[in-house]
């Protein structure tokens, strides 16, 4: 059972993916952390983020154990992630790890930008989670300030808009809804309501695919 959850920044895909994974007893992979860690490690080694070859080398030697790093949750790490994520060679270097994770014994829930389109095109259920940029910025702003980060809501909105634009217009695995993904619009949904809607959509996709949920 493989569940793909994609969407733009702060749409709630990570929160949903975690809860869906617990519900079905599946492992969960937040694939954004991989790109965030590549950005972090490249900067730490003094490698320019527009250097495709050197950042791909960083990606191919990434230590998965280092994904558990609170510093990866900052806006700066998200920006660095989106810069290295443009390079096809970086994406290729991270592909096998993601596919292997998905193809574990139980299956998995993965969230990111290209899970339904590139990483797991044959996923049993695919969700594309969205909300307006303003609502996403407000959610991320509350999340960051709740952790004590000093930032303005306007700065968060600018970051989200810049990343949405870069992620949607790049040539390699752009942020786009897979043709067989179902849209989950969460602008006016609480986390609990979005979770219930996600489960309904997943159950419907499973029964369409001829499997019990
Ligand atoms: O949580 P948020 O949506 O803000 O960010 P994230 O999912 O951690 O992703 C950070 C950046 O990594 C994105 O802006 C994308 O550029 C990139 N990314 C990607 O290209 N493909 C993925 N499957 C996941 C993330
Ligand atoms: O993974 P992604 O960047 O798409 O978003 P997230 O980290 O799951 O959610 C961003 C923030 O929005 C978190 O603080 C969530 O608790 C919050 N959220 C919300 O308030 N309402 C929702 N329907 C979904 C998420």
**Mean pLDDT estimate for the chain:** 96
Residue 210 within a domain: no
- In this prediction, residue 36 carries a pLDDT of 98
Q: Ligand 1: which residue has its CA nearest to atom 20?
A: 85
Q: Judging by DSSP bridges, how do beta strands 2-6 and 28-30 pair with one another?
A: unpaired
- In this prediction, residue 210 carries a pLDDT of 77
Strand (E) positions, 77-140?
Answer: 108-112, 125-130
pLDDT for 58-73, tens place per residue? 999 999 999 999 999 9
6-28 average pLDDT score: 98
Q: Ligand 1: which residue has its CA nearest to atom 18?
A: 32
pLDDT for 108-123, tens place per residue? 999 999 999 999 999 9
> CB–CB of 177/128 below 8 Å?
yes
**CA-based max dimension of the chain:** 51
Q: Cα dihedral sign for 156, 157, 161, 167? A: positive
Residue 154 within a domain: yes
Q: What range defines the domain where residue 35 resides?
A: 2-204
**19 CB within 6 A, ligand 2:** no
Residue 105 within a domain: yes
**Angle, helix 153-169 to helix 133-146, in steps of 10 degrees:** 120
Residue 211 binned pLDDT confidence (cut-offs 50, 70, 90): low
Nearest ligand 2 atom, CA 7: 4
13-17 average pLDDT score: 98
172-184 average pLDDT score: 97
Residue 212 within a domain: no
- In this prediction, residue 68 carries a pLDDT of 95
pLDDT for 129-171, tens place per residue? 999 999 999 999 999 999 999 999 999 999 999 999 999 999 9
Among residues of the chain, what percentage have pLDDT more than 70?
99
Residue 209 within a domain: no
C-alpha of residue 194 to centroid of ligand 2, in Å: 10
Q: Is the model's pLDDT at 92 over the cut of 90?
A: yes
Within its chain, how far is the Cα of 78 from the centroid? 11
Residue 169 within a domain: yes
201-208 average pLDDT score: 94
Comparing 76 with 89, the larger pLDDT belongs to 89
* Residue 88: CATH number of its domain: 3.40.50.300
CA dihedral 212, 13, 80, 135 (to 10 degrees): 160
Q: Is the model's pLDDT at 212 over the cut of 80?
A: no
> Which among 63, 88, 60, 79 has a CA at the least distance from the CA of 171?
88
Residue 14 within a domain: yes
- In this prediction, residue 10 carries a pLDDT of 97
Nearest ligand 2 atom, CA 129: 4
182-186 average pLDDT score: 98
Number of domains in the chain: 1
């Amino acid at each position: 059972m493989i569940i793909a959850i994609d969407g733009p920044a702060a749409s709630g895909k990570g929160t949903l993916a975690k809860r869906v994974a617990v519900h079905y007893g599946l492992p969960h992979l937040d694939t954004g952390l991989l790109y965030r860690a590549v950005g972090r490690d490249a900067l730490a080694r003094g490698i320019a983020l527009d250097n495709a070859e050197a950042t791909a080398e960083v990606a191919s030697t990434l230590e998965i154990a280092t994904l558990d790093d609170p510093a990866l949750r900052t806006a700066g790490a998200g920006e660095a992630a989106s810069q290295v994520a443009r390079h096809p060679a970086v994406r290729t270097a991270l592909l096998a790890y993601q596919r292997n994770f998905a193809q574990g014994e139980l299956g998995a829930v993965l969230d990111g930008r290209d899970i339904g389109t590139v990483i797991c095109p044959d996923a049993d259920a695919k969700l594309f989670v969205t909300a307006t940029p303003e609502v996403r910025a407000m959610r991320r702003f509350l999340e960051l300030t709740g952790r004590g980060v000093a930032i303005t809501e306007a700065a968060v909105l600018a970051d989200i808009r810049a990343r949405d634009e870069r992620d949607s217009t790049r040539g390699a695995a752009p942020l786009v809804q897979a043709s067989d993904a179902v849209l989950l619009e969460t602008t006016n949904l609480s986390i609990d309501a979005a979770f219930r809607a996600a489960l309904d959509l997943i159950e419907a996709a499973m029964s369409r695919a001829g499997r019990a949920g």
